[in-house]
Structure 1
């Protein structure tokens, strides 16, 4: 019993000033509904008390409703039990409020509209019976029920919105985790076939006493030194991605006996700009693979350009230009890269490709 009393008292104390003011204004508005009829008895002495009575009565009914309704409103109950308790609290609150209003107004001896009509006729109204009291309680039950229903609907809407927000946050977190897993898988792919074939070529070069053997081995080691530490990283910078492209191109040049000159073009301020990892290298890998399949050669030049755009140049535009045309295509790997780029930026980033007479341009636009 004490636990129930403690919860009830806590529910009453939880009423905020904003809620109390809203209830006060709502009760005043409800009291104004019957004020126009008092115009007809404005010539009868005491009509000002009748106005005060019409404004005070809804406040007292609301007080009675709050006493029974707040404990149920603040409870954690759900489902049918909550509905039945709300109905019971509304009925009990309307009866309690009507009784409270009747007692206070009777003690103040404030007249109502009907009493003023009887007074105008020079007669005294007979005492009110229980039927009139019950009629007043039923009349008070209507606005009480509407208030409870509207508040409960708003509570459920707020609760549903909060649950939806939680689901969206959970979905977003799961999407980020999935994206991180895909990126980790991409970071882990140091192309075993390329590594094996390159090691075989280097071994053969040493067996042939080639002067290029040490340099080729050094370029392979450099690529591994750049690529392997990225297995533990979740982000990257423009400078690091550029070094990875450069080391990869050096290895590919050795593999295919086709030198590729790599250059960069960007302001010094963009060197440390952060960007999602493993977007540029898969794009370059795909382009070189397509070039070798179609023309059995690699582009002789590759350039990576970067520019800022947008407000304060917080966005980043990257353009990878290769000196071979016709490397755009629309295969699954390019679509996967475009989809991963959108996932990294909530759908705002873009991957575009266009081919000119002598070059292929891949442009990645990363918004702020």
Structure 2
């Protein structure tokens, strides 16, 4: 018994799977058709169904009754052909009329050897003759019987008529199914396309963020070897010649590294935090090149809590020292300033060094050819698309000026650990 139930369940499952596959294939086929082709298909099916119905006689019998006076009924059509019933008052028996030609739909006997086409032609001719005779009899009897007459038309349900009705309903259901399938499949395809587009966009944005983050980490990991080695060499030299100064320079280097190394692992920072790191860096440089470097910091206290990408300001200051101040025999001045303009924070790093080389583009958001500036441009484009700029100018008093503008947002994260307060060395 269990085996029988299991076999029956598997059979129903197989049939259901087959129906699902057929439905999917038909739906896809309907969706691939244009609307005018679908309508043309329905018209063709409708015409074919009408021809088949007429050929097979798939319709109900039609009967017309003429009631004249109170005791005469004339029935035309139906299984009895034409029938006249006269019921006298008080009598229940009907008096049938003389037999008339057979009813519509009964084909005459075809002679031996006649083909099917001739038989169908004779059948249609007989049906038309009976219909004409019925109309003539109806008019003649109605006129002869006189009195008040009432014409009643009714339909006699037949098996062929039921089959015809079912066929017509099936055609309508089929057309409605094809139309619904086309609409639903198209809507589902559009929804799937939107989902795929959204997924592709999300994946692309994720990859872009990961790429930007990777570039950021690479840039943050670039501790200037030239600067570090020169500083250590200077410390080693001062240990032998000027131990107090060597000790001070060593403490400044420790302060810088204590702030720089954890900062390289951060994904966000503040302008104040970056200024403290830059101040430590400039202290080291000033100890090494002494009176050749002058430093000015002009950043309002209210802007020091603003968000600022980590190590970006450090890169600008390093470029000013390396490409502006160090190549100039007399040295120069490095100035770091910040201001708030129309909801954006503008940070400037300027120097009075050797200035831009010949042929360098002086103005524009894509000025600058150094690797550090290129990385800064890419990071700004990723972090603030369409809302940030990097501009390189020739300074008014010689040298170079670099300006970064980005949206002003106050940071909510606490200050990074390991960075001492500004002005205090470890």
Q: TM-score, normalised by structure 1?
A: 0.62
Find the aligned partners of 1:204 and 1:308 in 2 and give their Cα distance: 47
Trace 1:98-113 onto structure 2 (pairs within 5 A): none
1:223 aligned residue: 256
| Residue 217 to residue 225, structure 1, CA distance change in 2 (3 Å) | same
Deviation at 1:85, TM superposition (A): 6.3
Trace 1:297-312 onto structure 2 (pairs within 5 A): 298-307=331-340, 309-310=342-343
1:317 aligned residue: 346
1:204 aligned residue: 237
Find the aligned partners of 1:129 and 1:81 in 2 and give their Cα distance: 28
Find the aligned partners of 1:232 and 1:349 in 2 and give their Cα distance: 23
Find the aligned partners of 1:176 and 1:195 in 2 and give their Cα distance: 31
3-state DSSP of counterpart to 1:236 = coil
1:331 aligns with 2:361: no
| Residue 357 to residue 142, structure 1, CA distance change in 2 (3 Å) | same
RMSD: 3.6
1:124 aligned residue: 154
2:171 aligned residue: 138
2:317 aligned residue: 284
Deviation at 1:201, TM superposition (A): 0.8
3-state DSSP of counterpart to 1:190 = coil
Contact 1:291 1:297 in 2 (8 A): no
2:389 to 350, 354, 360: 350
Trace 1:56-95 onto structure 2 (pairs within 5 A): 83-84=24-25, 86=27
Aligned length: 266
1:263 aligns with 2:297: yes
Contact 1:262 1:302 in 2 (8 A): yes
Deviation at 1:172, TM superposition (A): 1.9
Find the aligned partners of 1:211 and 1:190 in 2 and give their Cα distance: 26
Contact 1:319 1:364 in 2 (8 A): yes
Find the aligned partners of 1:249 and 1:194 in 2 and give their Cα distance: 11
1:177 aligned residue: 210
Deviation at 1:210, TM superposition (A): 5.7
Contact 2:338 2:348 in 1 (8 A): yes
Deviation at 1:288, TM superposition (A): 2.5
3-state DSSP of counterpart to 1:346 = coil
Find the aligned partners of 1:223 and 1:174 in 2 and give their Cα distance: 33
2:141 aligned residue: none
Deviation at 1:283, TM superposition (A): 2.1
Deviation string 1:80-99 (CA, Å, 9 cap, x unpaired) is 87732647999xxxxxxxxx
Q: Which residues of structure 2 form unaligned runs of 5+?
A: 1-7, 32-61, 63-149, 357-361, 409-426
1:153 aligned residue: 186
Q: Which residues of structure 1 form unaligned runs of 5+?
A: 7-67, 73-79, 91-114
Find the aligned partners of 2:378 and 2:387 in 1 and give their Cα distance: 11
Find the aligned partners of 1:169 and 1:212 in 2 and give their Cα distance: 55
Contact 1:249 1:260 in 2 (8 A): no
3-state DSSP of counterpart to 2:153 = coil
| Residue 131 to residue 331, structure 1, CA distance change in 2 (3 Å) | same
Q: TM-score, normalised by structure 2?
A: 0.54
Contact 2:320 2:334 in 1 (8 A): no
| Residue 228 to residue 5, structure 1, CA distance change in 2 (3 Å) | farther
| Residue 82 to residue 160, structure 1, CA distance change in 2 (3 Å) | farther
Determine which structure has the larger strand proportion and give its number. 2
**Largest Rg, 1 or 2:** 2
1:12 aligned residue: none
Deviation string 1:178-204 (CA, Å, 9 cap, x unpaired) is 222222222222222321211111111
| Residue 87 to residue 158, structure 1, CA distance change in 2 (3 Å) | closer
| Residue 88 to residue 239, structure 1, CA distance change in 2 (3 Å) | closer
Find the aligned partners of 2:166 and 2:267 in 1 and give their Cα distance: 73
